[in-house]
Amino acid sequence: MLTVNNGKFYLEGQPFQILSGAIHYFRTVPEHWEDRLLKLKALGLNTVETYIPWNLHEPKKGEFYFSGLADVEAFIALAQSLDLYVILRPSPFICAEWEMGGLPAWLLKDKGAILRSSHPVFLKHVEEYFDVLLPKFERYLYQHGGPVIAMQIENEYGAYGNDLEYLSFLKNQYKKHHLDTFLFTSDGPEFIEQGSLPDVTTTVNFGSRVDEAFGKLKKFKPNSPKMVMEFWIGWFDHWNGKHHTRSASDAAEVFKDLMKTKSSVNFYMFHGGTNFGFMNGANYYDLYYPTITSYDYDALLTENGEITEKYKAIKKVLSNYIDVPDDYKSKITTHTYGDVELTESTSLFDVLSDCSKKVNSITPLSMEELDHPYGYTLYRTTVNRQGELSFNSDAIRDRSYIYINGEYVLTTYINDQNKELKLNFTEESNVLEILVENMGRANYGEHLSDKKGMVKNIWLGQQYWFNWEMYLINTDHLPKEFVSKDSRFPKFYRGFIEVEDACDTFVDVEGFGKGNVFINGFNLGRYWNTAGPQKRLYLPGPLLKKGKNEIVILELEGTNTNRVKLVDKPKLG
C-alpha cells in the first residue's frame, strides 16, 4: 500500500514519487482512452488521476449508468494493463468545470438537501450513491492486485464550508465499503485548514509559487508529504472570454521547482478533453461565466490528443531526474472532409410532439422540478390583457427567447444589466412563449444551488400569471420528419456525409449563431459563434461510421448559411 513516513511517500516500503496526470474518462471517447494513457506513460509518468462525476453515474435518482463514457471500471482496468497506477477522486463534489461540480441536479428538488454538509437528507443521498459506486473499486485496490493507490475524500472543501462532520462521514463511507487505501483531501494553500481532517493526508492545488504553497502546508501539518494534487499548467475558457494559454517555458520552470523539492505531482490537466452534450459547468461571481464545450485547458495534450510543446518541455525537465521512455507514435489522425450541405430544416415549433414532453402546472416549474435538468424548456401561457406590460427577467435562468402570438420579440440573458423590460401584447388574448436554455450550473463557490429554467413565476404587468404549459425538449430524440411550416428559430438543420475512413475532425459552424451539433444522434456540445472564443467543435473519429453519417444542427438564433465544414484543426480564440 501507499503510506507516508516522515513526510515522504512509500509504496511497498520503498520511497515513491507520484508522477501523475489527470485524464477524465468522461471527457474522452472510450476508443481514445488507450491513446491518451500511452502518451501519459511515454512522458515518464507512473500514475493517472481521474475525477468521478456523480451526475454522470446517477443522472436520475436511483437510476445508475456505468457504460460507454461512464465505464469507469474499464478505464481503471485499461490503466492497469498499461502498468499505470490510478488515483480516484469519487467525492460527491468534483468542481472540474463540470455541470454543478458533479452534483446531480435532482438534489435541488429536495429542499432539505443542504449541499456538501452533514445534514442527514444530503448524507442519505450520498450514502445511497456510494452504496452502488464504492463497492466497484475494492477489487482494484493495490493490495488486491489492482492499480488504485489513493482516493480522495472531498475536493477543495475548504473553499466551500467548514463541516468536518461531513468530511468524517465521507471517510467512514470508505471504511464501510472496505476501501482500505490511502486517503487524502486537496485544497488551495489558503484553504487547507478548513478542508482537511487531522488523520488524513492534505495535498495542495496550485500553478505557481511552489515554496509559498508548501510553506503553508508545512506550517499547518509539519510532516506532510509534498504533493500538488492539481498542478495547474493551463486554464479553462468561458463564453464571451478569451482563450487562456500558458507558455511551455513557464510551466516547465515551475515543474523544475517541483522536481527540485522532490515533490509528487499530478498535472491538471494532462489531457482535458471535451464537455460533450450539456455537461459544461459555470463559474458565478460578479457575473455568470459558463464554460465552453472544449476543455482543451491548454494542457499537455490538446483536446484531440495531440502532443504539445508544453508536453515536450515537461519531458525535457523530467529527463534530468528519471529515465523517460521513447515517444509514443499515435495511430489517430485528423482529417478535413470538407463542406456538408444541410439540405433539410424545420422549426422546433413544428416538431414539439416529436422531441418534447408536455407538462401542465398552475405556476411555471424549474427544470429541476420538471426532472428535465439539461438543455431547453419551452414555457407557454395565455396573457388576457392588451397593451405594453412591464416585465422583470430575473425569473429566467439562463438565456431565453420570448415570443408573443408566434412572433419573436426579444432575448434575455442572466448577465443582462437591465432586467426591467416591456412586452407589447396586441390582442385581448395573447400566447406568451418563453424558450429557456440552461447554459450550465455553477461548479464552484457560493452558487452551487443554481436552479435553471423559470425559477419562479413571472411578475408581468403588476400581476402573476397562472396556468402554464411546459415542453421538455429532449434532444436525445431528434426530429423524424423535417417539415417547414413555422418560420421561427430555433430550427433544426440536417445533412449527411459519406465517410470512407472515420478520422477525428472538427465541425466549423461559421455562419451559424448559437446552438448544438449532433453527429449520428450524439450531442457534441454547444457552439456560440457570436460570443467565442471557441469556433469549432471537436468530432472524435469513433463517433463517425463508414458510409452515411447524419449531421444535425439545432440553431437557436439565426444563420446565413446552410453548410458546415469538417476540418482538421481546432479554432480557439
Q: Which positions are catalytic?
A: 156, 230
Distance from C-alpha of 525 to C-alpha of 537, rounded to nearest angstrom: 7
Cis peptide before 259 (omega within 30 of 0): no
Q: Backbone phi, then psi, for 58, in 5-degree steps? A: -135, 70
Dig out the grid coordinates for 533 from the structure.
472564443
Contact between 550 and 499 (Cβ < 8 Å): no
3-class secondary structure per residue, 448-509: CCCCCEECCCCEECCCECCCEEEEEECCCCCCCCCCCCCCCCCEEEEEEEEECCCCEEEEEC
131 three-class SS: helix
Q: Backbone phi, then psi, for 192, in 5-degree steps? A: -65, -30
Contact between 130 and 171 (Cβ < 8 Å): no
Contact between 368 and 108 (Cβ < 8 Å): yes
Cα-Cα-Cα-Cα torsion 111, 116, 122, 123, nearest 10 degrees, comes to: -170
Distance from C-alpha of 421 to C-alpha of 389, rounded to nearest angstrom: 8
Dig out the grid coordinates for 371 from the structure.
426532472
Q: How far is CA 346 from CA 49, 450, 480, 530, in A?
A: 44, 32, 10, 22
Q: How far is CA 512 from CA 273, 278, 350, 475, 492, in A?
A: 24, 19, 20, 19, 12
Contact between 48 and 41 (Cβ < 8 Å): no
Distance from C-alpha of 374 to C-alpha of 55, rounded to nearest angstrom: 11
Distance from C-alpha of 573 to C-alpha of 466, rounded to nearest angstrom: 44
Give the burial string for 291-329 (b: 16+ CB within 10 Å, else e): bbbbbbbbbbbbbbbebbebbebbbebbeeeeebeeeee
Q: How far is CA 150 from CA 30, 48, 317, 570, in A?
A: 23, 11, 26, 35
